[in-house]
Chain A
Amino acid sequence: MIWHIAKRELYDNLNSLRFALATVLLLGLMLTNAVVHLREHPTRLQKYHDGVAEYQNRLKSYAAESLYKLAQKGPGDLYKKPSGLHFCAAGGETFLPADAEGGYGRWGLGGEPPLESFWILWYPSVTPNLANVRPDVTKVDWGFIIGYVLSLIALLFTFDSISRERERGTLRLMLANSIPRHTVLIGKFLGALISVSIPFTLAVLINLLVISTSSHVHLGAEVWGRLGIILLITLLYTCLFLVLGLLVSARVQRSAVSLVILLLAWVTLVVFMPNTLAAIAGGSSSSEAALGFSERSDQIHDELWREYASHRYNSGKSWPQKLEAAGEYVTKDAAQQERLHEERLKQRISQVNRARTLARISPVTIFQHLLESFAGTGFERHLQFLENVKSYAQQFRTFTVDTDNADAESLHIFGVREGMSQKPVSPEAIPKFEDTLSLSKDFNTAAIDLLLLMLFVIVLLSGAYLAFVRVEV
Chain B
Amino acid sequence: MLTTLIRRELLDNLMTFRFAAAVFIMLLLVVANTAVLIKDYERRLASYNTAVKKNRKNLEETKTYSAVSLSIDRPPNPLSIFNVGLDKRLGNSLGVYYFYVPSLWNAGKHGSNNPLLNIFSSIDIVFIFEVVLSLLALVFAYDAVAGERERGTLRLVLTHPVRRGHILIAKYMSAMICLLIPLLMSFLLVLILLTTSNSVSLSTNDFLRSGGVVFTSLVYLSLFYLIGMLISTATHRTSTALILSMFVWGFLVLVYPNMILTAVETAPQGDTETSAYNQIKQIWEEFERERKQFLANDSVPGEDWDFGLGGKGYSFWGDEDDASSLHYFNYYTGFHYETLSKESEPQVPHAQDYHRFLGLQLVKTADRVWRVRNPALETIYVRPANMEWMLLKFSPVGLYDAATEAWTGTDLNGLQDFFTAVQRYQQAVVGYFLDKKIFESRLWFVADKDTIDWDILPQFYFQRSGIGINAKRALPALFLLLTINVVLFIGTFLIFVRREV
Residues of chain A having any CB pair with chain B under 8 Å: 16-18, 21-22, 25, 28-29, 32-33, 35-36, 39, 91-92, 95-96, 125-127, 129-140, 144, 148-149, 152, 156, 160, 164, 255-257, 259-261, 263-264, 267-268, 271-272, 274-276, 278-280, 282-283, 286, 288, 292-293, 347-349, 351-352, 355, 359, 378-379
* CB pairs A–B below 8 angstroms (17 shown): A25-B250, A28-B259, A36-B263, A125-B115, A126-B115, A127-B115, A130-B91, A131-B104, A131-B325, A156-B247, A160-B239, A257-B17, A260-B18, A264-B22, A267-B135, A276-B36, A347-B114
Whether a CB of chain A sits under 8 angstroms from the CB of B119 is: yes
Residues of A within 8 A of B254 (CB): 148-149, 152
Would A156 and B246 count as touching, CB distance under 8 A? Answer: yes
Given known contacts A32-B263, A132-B385, A292-B112, what 9 new A-B pairs fall within 8 Å (CB)?
A133-B86, A137-B261, A156-B243, A160-B239, A256-B18, A264-B21, A276-B32, A279-B122, A355-B117
Q: What does the 1/0 interface line of B88-123 toward A look like (CB < 8 Å)?
A: 011100000000000011011100101111111111
Residues of B within 8 A of A160 (CB): 239
Residues of B within 8 A of A144 (CB): 258
Would B132 and A267 count as touching, CB distance under 8 A? Answer: yes
Residues of A within 8 A of B358 (CB): none
Residues of A within 8 A of B18 (CB): 256-257, 260
- Once bound together, how far apart are the Cα atoms of A260 and B250, in whole Å? 15
Would A131 and B112 count as touching, CB distance under 8 A? Answer: no
Would A282 and B117 count as touching, CB distance under 8 A? Answer: yes
> Given contacts A18-B243, A95-B116, A156-B246, is CB(A138)–CB(B36) below 8 Å?
no
Whether a CB of chain A sits under 8 angstroms from the CB of B412 is: yes
Contact for B108 among A25, A130, A278, A347, CB less than 8 A: A130
Residues of A within 8 A of B259 (CB): 28-29, 32, 140
- Once bound together, how far apart are the Cα atoms of A29 and B266, in whole Å? 19
- Which size class do B's interface residues fall under? 35 or more
Within 8 A of A (CB), among B59-93: 86, 89-91
Would B117 and A352 count as touching, CB distance under 8 A? Answer: yes
Closest B residue to A260 using CB positions: B18
Whether a CB of chain A sits under 8 angstroms from the CB of B1 is: no
Residues of B within 8 A of A263 (CB): 135, 139, 246
Whether a CB of chain A sits under 8 angstroms from the CB of B299 is: no
Nearest CB of B to A388, in Å: 18
Would A130 and B25 count as touching, CB distance under 8 A? Answer: no
Closest B residue to A43 using CB positions: B267
Q: What does the 1/0 interface line of B316-327 toward A look like (CB < 8 Å)?
A: 000000000100
- Once bound together, how far apart are the Cα atoms of A1 and B86, in whole Å? 58
Contact for A134 among B123, B132, B242, B388, CB less than 8 A: B388
Residues of A within 8 A of B255 (CB): 25, 28-29, 149
Closest A residue to B128 using CB positions: A272
> Given contacts A39-B265, A282-B120, A283-B39, is CB(A261)–CB(B244) below 8 Å?
no
Closest B residue to A294 using CB positions: B112
- Once bound together, how far apart are the Cα atoms of A1 and B240, in whole Å? 29
Residues of B within 8 A of A271 (CB): 131
Closest A residue to B108 using CB positions: A130
Would B132 and A135 count as touching, CB distance under 8 A? Answer: no
**What are the nearest 7 A-B pairs in CB distance?**
A92-B119, A278-B120, A125-B115, A95-B118, A137-B261, A260-B18, A140-B262
Closest A residue to B138 using CB positions: A263
Residues of A within 8 A of B9 (CB): none
- Once bound together, how far apart are the Cα atoms of A282 and B116, in whole Å? 10
Identify the interface centre among B89, B107, B382: most chain A CB within 10 Å of its CB: B89
- Once bound together, how far apart are the Cα atoms of A221 and B112, in whole Å? 44
Would B115 and A95 count as touching, CB distance under 8 A? Answer: yes
> Given contacts A131-B325, A268-B25, A349-B116, is CB(A275)–CB(B392) below 8 Å?
no
Residues of A within 8 A of B265 (CB): 39
Residues of B within 8 A of A33 (CB): 262
Would A132 and B120 count as touching, CB distance under 8 A? Answer: no
Would A137 and B131 count as touching, CB distance under 8 A? Answer: no
Nearest CB of B to A397, in Å: 26
Nearest CB of A to B162, in Å: 26
Nearest CB of B to A319, in Å: 30
- Once bound together, how far apart are the Cα atoms of A263 and B109, in whole Å? 39
Would A275 and B250 count as touching, CB distance under 8 A? Answer: no
> Given contacts A130-B109, A279-B36, A288-B112, is CB(A149)–CB(B262) below 8 Å?
no
Would A135 and B389 count as touching, CB distance under 8 A? Answer: yes
Would A133 and B382 count as touching, CB distance under 8 A? Answer: yes
Nearest CB of A to B382, in Å: 7
Would B123 and A260 count as touching, CB distance under 8 A? Answer: no
Residues of A within 8 A of B244 (CB): 17, 21
Nearest CB of A to B180, in Å: 19
Closest B residue to A127 using CB positions: B115
Contact for B123 among A32, A272, A352, CB less than 8 A: A272
- Once bound together, how far apart are the Cα atoms of A276 and B389, in whole Å? 26
Residues of A within 8 A of B117 (CB): 282, 351-352, 355
Whether a CB of chain A sits under 8 angstroms from the CB of B273 is: no
Within 8 A of A (CB), among B366-392: 381-382, 384-385, 388-389, 392
